A and B are shown apart, each in its own frame.
Chain A
Amino acid sequence: DTGVSQNPRHKITKRGQNVTFRCDPISEHNRLYWYRQTLGQGPEFLTYFQNEAQLEKSRLLSDRFSAERPKGSFSTLEIQRTEQGDSAMYLCASSLGQGSEQFFGPGTRLTVL
């Protein structure tokens, strides 16, 4: 257990539904990252926050995806109008600052039927 928690651990939804995932980072970490991982592949960067500011977004993050970190602590990732191609493991990581180790949570596995 790295100290980063994610909820839910598993989510099954029907195509077209909206889903929201939550990440609670290690408490003193000011940086929070979202990655997506499909079967057999390494995690792919989606977006990252420093405190409450979203500083970078990948081109993988279509306009159906939105992430927030309103108080600089926990973060949510919402996917609207889910598609089957959204099925993946969504990983959250946090770090203490620039150049420091990223600690990953256990992930939320999304299955879109």
Chain B
Amino acid sequence: GESVGLHLPTLSVQEGDNSIINCAYSNSASDYFIWYKQESGKGPQFIIDIRSNMDKRQGQRVTVLLNKTVKHLSLQIAATQPGDSAVYFCAENKNYGGATNKLIFGTGTLLAVQP
């Protein structure tokens, strides 16, 4: 995909609202998808994952939806809190079931939660 350089897509929401972050992945053969949260100065933190035999998975306040037809992934965060402010990345895993688990990360989305 194209690089967005320093200009990350940004989603600005009010505290308490629901957030939806979208991601398009590149490889129809990918069969494992993960959402990571990255705060400034820290490494990515696992949020939730989903395998290609599912189209929805729920965690605590988060839901991931997978649409394999259009190669689209979304992360829904319920009742967004200021602590949710971070950059969110989706990642796809190629060759799951093979010899490697390298992750291919998409372009991040900056979530800004307004109090």
Q: Is B100 an interface residue (CB 8 A)?
A: yes
Q: Is the CB of A40 within 8 A of B6?
A: yes
- Closest Cβ of chain A to B62, distance in Å, is 15
Give chain A's interface secondary structure class: loop
Which of these, A40, A56, A98, A105, contacts B43 with CB under 8 Å? A105
Give chain B's interface secondary structure class: loop
| B91: nearest chain-A partner, CB-CB | A42
CA A29 to CA B6, docked complex, whole Å = 34
| B93: nearest chain-A partner, CB-CB | A99
Q: Is the CB of B103 within 8 A of A102?
A: yes
- Residues on A with beta carbons closer than 8 Å to the beta carbon of B5: 40
What is the interface size of chain B, counting residues whose CB is below 8 A from a CB of the partner? 30
CA A41 to CA B34, docked complex, whole Å = 16
- Residues on B with beta carbons closer than 8 Å to the beta carbon of A4: 43
CA A103 to CA B4, docked complex, whole Å = 26
**In B46-103, which residues have CB < 8 Å from any A CB?**
46, 49, 89, 91, 96-97, 99-103
Instruction: Given the known inter-chain contacts A40-B6, A99-B97, A101-B49, please indicate yes or no for A45 contacting B102, CB distance below 8 A.
Output: yes
- Closest Cβ of chain B to A16, distance in Å, is 27
In the complex, besides A43-B89, A55-B100, 9 extra interface pairs with C-beta distance below 8 angstroms are A42-B105, A42-B107, A45-B103, A48-B100, A95-B101, A98-B96, A100-B101, A105-B43, A107-B43
Name B residues whose Cβ lies closer than 8 Å to a Cβ of A. Answer: 3-8, 32, 34, 36, 41-46, 49, 89, 91, 96-97, 99-108
